[in-house]
């Protein structure tokens, strides 16, 4: 109920924004559309006469919004015919399009008035609601940012002006949220990625295709190696598959019909064969299973794959590492018997639990099920879907997992158990997933010989833990504010000699740490100690070893921890033991 109330509040704030815009720029803007969203609301405007709306206009827009709020106007719903709606919005092509769509789908058309219907000073928009009763309820709101947005997200359409805002029930909640936004700006992974020299983008390479510098590549590799190390101990085996495949593979899997618009088509100079860059690994993994005759004794077969994947995202939807066109996933596909499913999923859930604890994430699960209103979106028999959805629910309850329902979030071939992690700023991110799939083994006619000699289809379990390494890097960058834990830091220790006189001893400390496998650098610059410390802090190096003449004479180091924590002097061996223990334990 609280979520519904907040949704209605934000939807109402969006209408108040639009009404204020029409008052401030009468006849100069055309309202397109805008919903309430998880973090607030937005509205898209088509501006005319060359007017430019900027964030500097926010104070006067908010002032006008407050006037509307204080007017205590009612929100009133009115059901209208398509003909009446077209008359009401005869000069608005965007509303006409929505009305045409509603009529073709035989949907009820409603409008909401803010103020007395049809009277001066009132406002009306095509809308299904919900809203609060009166404008006076929208007390705590703020406009946040402005951006360009293509109509329907399609770059072939006109660019509109999108204004983002948020609203809460109390000013205290709003202030807390704004503070979090300010902290999020400081932690923006695109900003940190540049400052820490982790990754970049090039117009010549293409949008959505990140280029990793040595440090960024290292972190990405460490994430994958951590998952692979854990998987190997549990009997998972890594495979490698091509980055392109024939269209027939995706036609058989169902991705061609359900996913083709998001796939990159590959054109050959020598063949007319239709091929695509693969957007996921599962279809190719079925062919590894199919390459040999399989017995019930061979199962389960656990295949992992870190190969690159490609999806044709719209330019306007690309966002740093959060959404790219090229990425990898810690994909795993398990081919097993039906009686092995529970044990395999329990093991996957325990691995996931350990990895989430390593990063300090709190989390819950979403049971992503079918959209009951659109059964045509899914492959497979409804009775099988019923069985698997109940089965997934039982698995989570047996494992004591907190979960919530996500109707319409299922993959087209199976429901999903999706992990939603909460970062240091309270934001939620979907990471791992587990899926019980009956559809793909049947579509590819995958079989094994059972104990009684009959041929049976295996169950195919789809599993990822961190998901995309690129997206995980983005989340961790912002979660830790660039200050990665010691085991994940590209440079773990920076040696800072005070003067040239202590350089020889500093070199010996460097070699000692390197022999023990510690990632260490020696600052040989002729800068002041203060500048060296500031540079190491800016680079988010976990430990700094300060070496002056006193330390060199005593064969010790003065240890400083990231965040200006002075740990005093200690021997190199004592420091090395401390660091190695912290690395092995993957301490936060």
Q: What's 41's DSSP letter?
A: E
198, 213 contact by CB (below 8 A): yes
Cα three-residue angle 366-371-377, rounded to 5 degrees: 120
Location of structure tokens 């021997």: 571
Please state, in angstroms and rounded to a whole number, the distance separating the CA atoms of residues 181 and 172. Answer: 14
How would you classify the pairing of strands 416-422 and 448-449?
Answer: unpaired
- Residue 180's CB is within 10 A of a number of other CB atoms, namely 14
72, 134 contact by CB (below 8 A): yes
Would you call 331 a catalytic residue per the annotation? yes
Please state, in angstroms and rounded to a whole number, the distance separating the CA atoms of residues 560 and 150. Answer: 50
- Going by C-alpha positions, the residue among 154, 181, 149 that lies closest to residue 40 is 181
Please state, in angstroms and rounded to a whole number, the distance separating the CA atoms of residues 251 and 444. Answer: 10
Would you call 67 a catalytic residue per the annotation? no
Please state, in angstroms and rounded to a whole number, the distance separating the CA atoms of residues 52 and 43. Answer: 15
Active-site residue identified among 282, 284, 294, 418: 282
Would you call 479 a catalytic residue per the annotation? no
Would you call 187 a catalytic residue per the annotation? no
208, 313 contact by CB (below 8 A): yes
- Residue 141's CB is within 10 A of a number of other CB atoms, namely 24
Would you call 492 a catalytic residue per the annotation? no
Active-site residue identified among 311, 463, 519, 540: 311
Side-chain-side CA neighbours of residue 165 (13 Å) = 29
Location of structure tokens 């061609």: 256
Spell out the residues 6+ positions from residue 83 whose beta carbon is closer than 8 angstroms to its own: none
Active-site residue identified among 19, 231, 329, 435: 329
Side-chain-side CA neighbours of residue 190 (13 Å) = 11
Instruction: Provide the strand spans (E) within 82-158.
Output: 110-114, 123-126, 140-150
Active-site residue identified among 44, 125, 305, 331: 331
Active-site residue identified among 10, 457, 462, 463: 462
Please state, in angstroms and rounded to a whole number, the distance separating the CA atoms of residues 101 and 376. Answer: 19
Active-site residue identified among 95, 162, 333, 471: 333
| Helix (H), strand (E) at residue 9 | helix 2-24
Q: What's 73's DSSP letter?
A: P
Please state, in angstroms and rounded to a whole number, the distance separating the CA atoms of residues 94 and 18. Answer: 15
How distant, in Å, are the alpha carbons of 239, 264, 281, 420, 581 from that of 284? 10, 16, 6, 27, 41
Residue 380 three-state SS: coil
Please state, in angstroms and rounded to a whole number, the distance separating the CA atoms of residues 97 and 152. Answer: 11
Please state, in angstroms and rounded to a whole number, the distance separating the CA atoms of residues 578 and 574. Answer: 6
Active-site residue identified among 416, 457, 479, 540: 416
Would you call 298 a catalytic residue per the annotation? no
Please state, in angstroms and rounded to a whole number, the distance separating the CA atoms of residues 121 and 73. Answer: 10
Q: What is the DSSP string of 202-228?
A: -TTT-TT--EE-HHHHHHHHHHHHHHH
Residue 565 three-state SS: strand
Would you call 332 a catalytic residue per the annotation? no
Catalytic residue numbers?
Answer: 282, 311, 329, 331, 333, 416, 462
């Amino acid at each position: 109920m609280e979520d519904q109330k907040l949704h209605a509040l934000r939807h109402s704030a969006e209408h108040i924004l639009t009404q204020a815009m029409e008052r401030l720029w009468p006849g100069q803007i055309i309202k397109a559309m805008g919903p309430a969203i998880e973090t607030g609301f937005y509205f898209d405007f088509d501006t005319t006469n060359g007017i430019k709306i900027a964030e500097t206009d926010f104070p006067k827009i908010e002032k006008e919004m407050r006037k509307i709020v204080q007017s205590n106007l009612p929100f009133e719903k009115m059901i209208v015919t398509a003909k009446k709606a077209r008359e009401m919005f005869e000069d608005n092509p965007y509303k006409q399009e929505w009305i045409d769509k509603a009529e073709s789908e035989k949907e009820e058309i409603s409008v909401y008035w803010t103020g007395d219907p049809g009277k001066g000073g009132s406002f009306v928009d095509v809308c299904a609601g919900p809203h609060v009763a009166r404008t006076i309820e929208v007390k705590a709101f703020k406009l946040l940012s402005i951006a360009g947005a293509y109509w329907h997200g399609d770059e072939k359409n006109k660019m509109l002006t999108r204004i983002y805002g948020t609203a809460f029930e109390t000013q205290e909640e709003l202030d807390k949220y704004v503070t979090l936004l300010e902290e999020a700006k400081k932690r923006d992974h695109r900003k940190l990625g540049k400052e820490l020299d982790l990754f970049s983008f090039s117009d010549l390479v293409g949008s959505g295709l990140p280029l990793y510098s040595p440090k960024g590549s290292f972190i990405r590799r460490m994430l994958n190696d951590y998952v692979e190390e854990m998987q190997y101990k549990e009997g998972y085996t890594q495979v490698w598959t091509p980055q392109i495949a024939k269209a027939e593979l995706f036609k058989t899997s169902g991705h061609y019909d359900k996913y083709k618009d998001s796939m990159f088509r590959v054109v050959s100079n020598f063949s007319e064969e239709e091929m695509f860059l693969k957007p996921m690994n599962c279809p190719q993994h079925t062919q590894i299973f199919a390459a040999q005759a399989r017995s019930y004794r061979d199962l389960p077969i656990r295949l992992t794959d870190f190969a690159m994947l490609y999806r044709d995202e719209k330019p306007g939807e690309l966002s740093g590492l959060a959404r790219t066109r090229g990425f990898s996933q810690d994909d795993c596909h398990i081919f097993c018997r039906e009686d092995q499913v529970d044990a395999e999923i329990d093991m996957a859930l325990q691995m996931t639990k350990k990895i989430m604890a390593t990063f300090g994430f709190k989390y819950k699960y979403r049971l992503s099920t079918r959209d009951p209103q659109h059964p045509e979106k899914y492959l497979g028999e409804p009775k099988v879907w019923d069985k698997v959805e109940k089965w997934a629910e039982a698995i989570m309850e047996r494992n004591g997992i907190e979960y919530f329902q996500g109707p319409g979030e299922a993959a087209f071939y199976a429901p999903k158990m999706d992990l939603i992690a909460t970062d240091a700023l309270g934001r939620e991110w979907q990471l791992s997933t587990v899926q019980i799939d009956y559809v793909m083994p049947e579509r590819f006619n995958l079989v094994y010989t059972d104990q009684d000699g009959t041929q049976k289809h295996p169950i195919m379990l789809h599993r990822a833990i961190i998901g995309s390494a690129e997206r995980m890097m983005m989340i961790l960058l912002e979660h830790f504010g660039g200050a990665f834990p010691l085991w994940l830091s590209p440079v773990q220790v920076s040696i800072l000699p005070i003067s040239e006189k202590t350089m020889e001893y500093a070199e010996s400390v460097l070699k000692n740490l390197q022999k023990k496998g510690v990632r260490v650098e020696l600052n040989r610059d002729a800068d002041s100690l203060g500048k060296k410390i500031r540079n190491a802090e800016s680079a988010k190096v976990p430990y700094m070893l300060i070496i002056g003449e006193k330390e060199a004479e005593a064969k010790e180091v003065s240890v400083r921890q990231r965040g200006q924590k002075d740990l005093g002097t200690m021997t190199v061996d004592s420091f090395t033991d401390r660091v190695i223990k912290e690395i092995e334990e993957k301490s936060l």
